[in-house]
């Protein structure tokens, strides 16, 4: 059975680390990828970067919900992207993003509409992918994590201020609920 791993949340400084490339495509990596998937599903995520569970390696997973009533997320449909590089980007798109490491806060972010990437799969095989819209947004969001960046780092000065204010208020409320 896979394990649910604890997720690091803002303002933890470990989220600012730059992740390193994966060199060993072994059983340990496969177990870790399965734990990442379980963690993402149990926390209602659609994407997760390894650094969010305290492993500074260039690994991200994405599982978009099915386009049906249930919006099921299937392990078989999960993209496991290791050591990615963006080779081409085009167009712009704005989407209201969230992040498991910045719980309960959502804000519009501008990204490329289309990206092409090269990466490796869990067996180390070289792959390429052209992504559009939500998948493209999700990959860019997760690649930013590998570079130590969060979506809130991309907000305008005014919106960042709004975030800091809301976040402080939430932390206070959490503290008050504990006492
Ligand atoms: C990144 O984000 C992403 O605040 C993945 O309370 C963002 O899975 C991909 C989540 C935008 C595509 C578009 C956030 C769950 C999940 C929360 C997530 C929360 C519970 C975020
Ligand atoms: Co995130």
**Does any ligand 1 atom lie closer than 6 A to the CB of residue 140?**
no
Tokens representing 166 are 């809301």
CA-102 nearest atom, ligand 1: 4
pLDDT (0 to 100) of residue 127: 98
Q: Are strands 79-90 and 114-120 parallel, antiparallel or unpaired?
A: antiparallel
Tell me whether residue 142 is one of the annotated catalytic residues.
yes
H or E element in which residue 138 lies: helix 133-146
Tens digits of per-residue pLDDT, 31-85?
Answer: 999 999 999 999 999 999 999 999 999 999 999 999 999 999 999 999 999 999 9
Asked if 8 and 14 count as a contact pair (C-beta separation under 8 A), the reply is yes
Asked if 39 and 109 count as a contact pair (C-beta separation under 8 A), the reply is no
Q: Which ligand is nearest to the CA of 146?
A: 2
The residue annotated as part of the active site, out of 107, 142, 164, 166, is 142
The best mutation among 9, 10, 47, 48 to test binding of ligand 1, ranked by most ligand atoms within 8 Å of the C-beta, falls on: 47
Tens digits of per-residue pLDDT, 115-150?
Answer: 999 999 999 999 999 999 999 999 999 999 999 999
**Does any ligand 1 atom lie closer than 6 A to the CB of residue 44?**
yes
Phi, psi at 126, each rounded to 5°: -75, 135
Q: Which residues pair with 4 in a beta bridge?
A: none
Mean pLDDT (whole number) for 82-92: 98
Return d(Cα 172, Cα 125) in angstroms, integer: 47
């Amino acid at each position: 059975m896979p394990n649910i791993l604890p997720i690091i949340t803002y303002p933890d400084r470990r989220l600012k680390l730059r992740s390193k490339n994966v060199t060993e495509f072994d059983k340990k990596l496969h177990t870790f990828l399965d734990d990442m998937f379980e963690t993402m599903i149990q926390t209602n995520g659609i994407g997760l970067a390894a650094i969010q569970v305290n492993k500074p390696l260039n690994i991200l997973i994405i599982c978009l919900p099915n386009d049906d009533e249930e919006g099921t997320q299937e392990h078989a449909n999960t993209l496991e992207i290791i050591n990615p590089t963006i080779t081409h980007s085009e167009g712009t798109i704005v989407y209201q993003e969230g992040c498991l490491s910045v719980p309960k806060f959502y804000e519009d972010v501008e990204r490329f509409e289309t990206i092409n990437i090269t990466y490796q799969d869990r067996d180390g095989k070289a792959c390429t992918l052209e992504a559009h819209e939500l998948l493209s947004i999700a990959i860019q969001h997760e690649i930013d994590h590998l570079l130590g960046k969060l979506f809130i780092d991309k907000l305008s000065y005014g919106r960042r201020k709004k975030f800091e204010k809301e976040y402080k208020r939430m932390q206070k409320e959490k503290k008050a609920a504990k006492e």
